[in-house]
Amino acid sequence: MKHIVTGLFTAAILATGAQAQQNIVVGHALSPSSHYGVGAQAFIDTLTELSGGTFTGEQAPAGQLGGERDMIEGLQIGSIDVVVTSTGPLGNFVPEVFALDLPFLFRDYDHARAVLDGEIGQELLEKIGENNIVGLAWSENGFRHITNSQRPVRTPADLEGLKLRTMENRVHMTAFSGMGASPTPMAFPELFTALQQGVVDGQENPVTVITASKFWEVQKYVSLTGHVYSPAAVLASPILLDGLTDEQRGWFDEAAKASAAATRAEVNRLEEAGVEMLLENGMEVITDIDKAPFAALAEASYSVYTDEYGTEMVERIKAVE
């Protein structure tokens, strides 16, 4: 009898526990109004709605929880719930993801989104899942361009000797060495001050980030090199998700899809309006760029991935229509 009473009591607590509200923190590197902020909010709103308020959420924007590498580590130890991050540091945890960071690989946004939404994207989300991180969905940062304080960059020769901040990503660092710059890997939260103090001359990021970070305050020139597509991922802590029912887990998947869709819509908007903002804020925007010599010099970086995994994935990505 005592056992039955205890069992019922436990069931009651669990039932109450299942109803208890849980607040999910979504970390990211940019402002709440950025493309990541819009995506993080869509995640929170969708999760709250689908769960009937059982789950609520809040953003931890602007690198409050650290750089992207720190946040991914936080997911692994369960100190952070959900993160929207570029793939910048992700290859250090899941080397197969370096395939997405190769320069001049994706033709345009349609190509990149078709790859990430198709079987390749799904395979890579599963690979992420083998490394104590849950990959919920592919989101987007955008095609990256070079900004600097010294001179217009039109050719690789213009990069010669420029101290350029890159993400902590071996593919990108090798590509920029090949193109003639001096790559300086650095976590994003340190970047604005480093540009302001002249520790580095330039950096590279999509228009979405250049506008969200007001880099016109510390940079004069933007060269629309589009040298690499920068995917983002909505990632979650396995420690959080392991405790969920299938239904609850489904809400997280839906929330991540809604987040990616909202972020991509904002990227589309800023690709149109963002360059105008850069000009209005006094930046010189360089568009007459022949990408071929940059691509030829960046090619050496492919070996960071292909030495370990061969060229099959690269060919598969190229073949996606």
Q: Residues in the site for ligand PAF, rule: CB under 6 A?
A: 29, 68, 85-86, 88, 141, 167, 188, 205, 209, 230
What crossing angle do the helices spanning 291-298 and 170-179 adopt, rounded to 10°?
120
Q: Which helix (H) or strand (E) holds 92?
A: none
Residue type, 270: L
Is the CB of 48 or the CB of 86 nearer to ligand PAF?
86
CB of 205 to ligand PAF, least distance (A): 5
| Residue among 222, 227, 228 at smallest CA distance from 207 | 222
CB of 27 to ligand PAF, least distance (A): 11
Is the CB of 136 or the CB of 209 nearer to ligand PAF?
209
Residue type, 108: D
Cβ-Cβ contacts under 8 Å for 175 (sequence gap 6 or more): 103, 227, 228, 298, 300, 301
CB of 120 to ligand PAF, least distance (A): 21
Is the CB of 80 or the CB of 209 nearer to ligand PAF?
209
Q: Which residue is nearest to ligand PAF (CB)?
A: 86
| Residue among 68, 61, 56, 62 at smallest CA distance from 92 | 68
CB of 85 to ligand PAF, least distance (A): 6
CB of 86 to ligand PAF, least distance (A): 3
Residue 180, Ramachandran bin (φ over 0: left; ψ between -120 and 50: alpha; else beta): left
Is the CB of 29 or the CB of 146 nearer to ligand PAF?
29
Is the CB of 167 or the CB of 175 nearer to ligand PAF?
167
Residue type, 31: S
